[in-house]
Amino acid sequence: MSSQNEKPIIYVISDSIGETAEYVVRAAASQFNGGTAEIRRISYIDDHESIDEVVQSAKEVNGLIAFTIVVAELKEYLLKIAEKKQVKTVDIMGPMIDALQGIYKMPPKMKPGLVRKLDDEYFRKVEAIEFAVKYDDGRDPRGILKADVILVGVSRTSKTPLSMYLAHKRLKVANVPLVPEVQPPDELFEVSSKKVIGLKINPDQLNSIRKERLKALGLTAQANYANYKRILEELEYSERVMKKIGCPVIDVSSKAVEETANIILDMFRKGGER
C-alpha cells in the first residue's frame, strides 16, 4: 500500500450509486491522519469490462477497492479478477447481509439501489408531513395548487387528522374549512375536481362533537359553534360548495380516520390524479 506520506487511493464501486460504500470508507479513513485518502467512486457497475478497468487502475496505483455490489455474478467476477491481479478488496455489505440472512431466515433480494429507494420514500413522507402542516386549515390557499389531495368540509370533520394520516402515505394534502361567512379560495375551482374530496357529517353527530370540543376548551356548550341551527346552515353551505366544485364526497359520520383515509387512498388507486 502507499507510504505514510502519500494519499491512499481507494476505488469505491457499486452496482447502484455507491453512497453507502463511500460514506463508510470516509468514516474509516477519518481515523487515519484526518482521512486524507483519495476516493474515486464509480457508480452503476453492470458489466465485466468496467470491473476489469477498475481492478487494473487499482493495481497500477497500489490502491484498494471497496464495494457494494449485490448482484452475485458481478461480485464473484470482481473477487476473482482482484485476486488474480493481487488487488485488495473490501466487501462493505456482504458480511452484514450474510448475518441478517441468518436472522431473517430468508434469502436477500440482491437488488441494487434498495437503500436509496427507502431513503427516497422516507424523505417523500417527511416532505408530505411538512406540506400538511404548512397548508393546514386553509392558512395558505397557494397550497391547493401544489397538493395531491385537497380536503374540504366544515369544522370538526377530521380534516387535519386525515391530512396527517395521508401524509404518512406520502400524499401532499391541503385542507380548507368551509364557513358561510368566508368565500372559498379561487384555487379550489382551478384544480381538477378529482383532487378535491368533500367531507360531510351527520348534524347530530357534529353537534355532539362540537359540544365536547367546547367542554374541553372550558366554554359553554350553548356557544354558536355548537348551535344546531348554525350547524345545519354550515352543512347546507358546504354541500353547495362541494356541488359547485363537482368533487366526490365522503360521509365521515361514525367513521374512524383510518377508514376514511383508506377510502380516499382507494379512490386514487382507481384512477384519481396524483
- Using one digit for the tens of pLDDT, what is the confidence trace for 27-52? 898 888 766 789 999 988 989 999 99
155 carries a ligand binding annotation: yes
CATH of domain 9-112: 3.40.50
CATH of domain 119-269: 3.40.50
Q: pLDDT at position 176, please?
A: 97
| pLDDT tier, 1 (very low <50, low <70, confident <90, very high otherwise) | very low
pTM: 0.60
253 carries a ligand binding annotation: no
| 71 neighbors 110 (Cβ within 8 angstroms) | yes
Mean of per-residue pLDDT scores for the chain: 89
26 carries a ligand binding annotation: no
CATH 3.40.50 residue ranges of the chain are 9-112, 119-269
Residue indicated by cell numbers 455490489? 69
158 carries a ligand binding annotation: yes
| pLDDT tier, 96 (very low <50, low <70, confident <90, very high otherwise) | confident
35 carries a ligand binding annotation: no
173 carries a ligand binding annotation: no
Residue indicated by cell numbers 452475485? 72
| pLDDT tier, 192 (very low <50, low <70, confident <90, very high otherwise) | very high
Q: pLDDT at position 11, please?
A: 96
Does residue 2 have a pLDDT over 50? no
| pLDDT tier, 112 (very low <50, low <70, confident <90, very high otherwise) | low
